[in-house]
Amino acid sequence: MAAPLNPALVELAAAARRVTVLSGAGMSAESGVPTFRAAQSGLWERFDPTMLATPQAWEADPELVWAWYAWRINLVRGVEPNAGHRALARWAERTQVRIATQNVDDLHERAGSDVLAHLHGSLTALRCADCERPFDGPVEIPAEPVERLAPAACPACDGRVRPGVVWFGEMLPQGAFDAAADAVFDADLVLVVGTSGLVYPAASLPDLARGHGVPVVELNPEDTPVSERVDIVWRDTAARGLPALLAAIAVA
């Protein structure tokens, strides 16, 4: 059951005409996509990201890195948007809701939302690692995790095809951060959902909002470094809290 809603939160949400949502891995947790830093099941537990999510790892062992991403693509294909994703899509029918996500899955879109910015790219936006051309040819995605998998070859230059995600040390996709920052400045409510607030520059967005006088709400079942720098801390999960908030503002 959803936690009781803070009346100040309901009032803020009911009055908001321009909502900007900053979502992270916790947004998709209840769909069955493990977060990065969960104690038991996090991707970080099973794999060392510093070994896999870097340009250096790709250079050293592209088959290992591609096998890991193929596993994640398969995982995301097999899950559905949760009630939190769906609540945000419904909210957008009555007010402007802009979403900037750190997630590389497509669950917001599959729930019916337009995503303003995928700050860390998209799992399935494949491109050539050499010539950068987008790749939309067929790729083999095994049903079970494998340890090694040869990446597809780029039809233009024969380079290796890589996932369109941001690896450690890489730049964010062109324009993504600026679009998110503009949406934050121009909002009358910023809702930070399911992110540990550890990875920059995405983690600076809630502070940009507050610096601009925009109220910031954090929806997260746990304490994070963001918690002490927001206006309202909302301790619940995305799939419980967001539908409850939508229901409350419908009658507010």
Q: Which residues are catalytic?
A: 120
Among 132, 116, 123, CA closest to 176: 116
- Give min distance, CB of 158 to ligand OAD, in A: 27
Residue 228 within binding range of ligand OAD, rule CB under 6 A: no
Please, which residue, 12 or 226, has the CB nearer to ligand OAD? 226
Q: Of residues 166, 183, 205, 245, which one binds ligand OAD by CB under 6 A?
A: 166
Please, which residue, 53 or 149, has the CB nearer to ligand OAD? 53
- Give min distance, CB of 167 to ligand OAD, in A: 7
Residues 6 or more apart whose Cβ sits within 8 Å of residue 148? 63, 64, 67
- Give min distance, CB of 196 to ligand OAD, in A: 3
Interface stretch with ligand OAD, choices 61-69, 73-81, 132-140, 218-226 (CB under 6 A): 218-226
Residue 35 within binding range of ligand OAD, rule CB under 6 A: yes
- Give min distance, CB of 24 to ligand OAD, in A: 3
- Give min distance, CB of 230 to ligand OAD, in A: 13
Q: Of residues 21, 24, 66, 89, which one binds ligand OAD by CB under 6 A?
A: 24
- Give min distance, CB of 222 to ligand OAD, in A: 4
CA distance 38 to 222: 11
Amino acid, res. 202: A
Please, which residue, 69 or 135, has the CB nearer to ligand OAD? 69
Binding to ligand OAD, residues 177-196 (CB under 6 A): 193-196
Residue 36 within binding range of ligand OAD, rule CB under 6 A: yes
Residue 122 within binding range of ligand OAD, rule CB under 6 A: no
HEC letters along the chain: CCCCCCHHHHHHHHHCCEEEEEECCHHHHCCCCCCCCCCCCCHHHHCCHHHHCCHHHHHHCHHHHHHHHHHHHHHHHCCCCCHHHHHHHHHCCCCEEEEEECCCCCHHHHHCCCCCEECCEEEEEEEECCCCCECCCCCCCCCCCCCCCCCCECCCCCCEEEEEECCCCCCCCCCHHHHHHHHHHCCCEEEEECCCCCCCCHHHHHHHHHHCCCCEEEECCCCCCCHHHCCEEECCCHHHHHHHHHHHHHHC
Q: Of residues 238, 242, 244, 245, which one binds ligand OAD by CB under 6 A?
A: 238
Please, which residue, 112 or 221, has the CB nearer to ligand OAD? 221
What is the number of other CB atoms lying within 10 angstroms of the CB of residue 147?
Answer: 9
Residue 199 within binding range of ligand OAD, rule CB under 6 A: yes
CA distance 23 to 8: 21
> By the criterion CB under 6 A, which residues form the site for ligand OAD?
24-26, 29-30, 35-37, 53, 102, 120, 166, 193-196, 198-199, 220-222, 224, 237-238
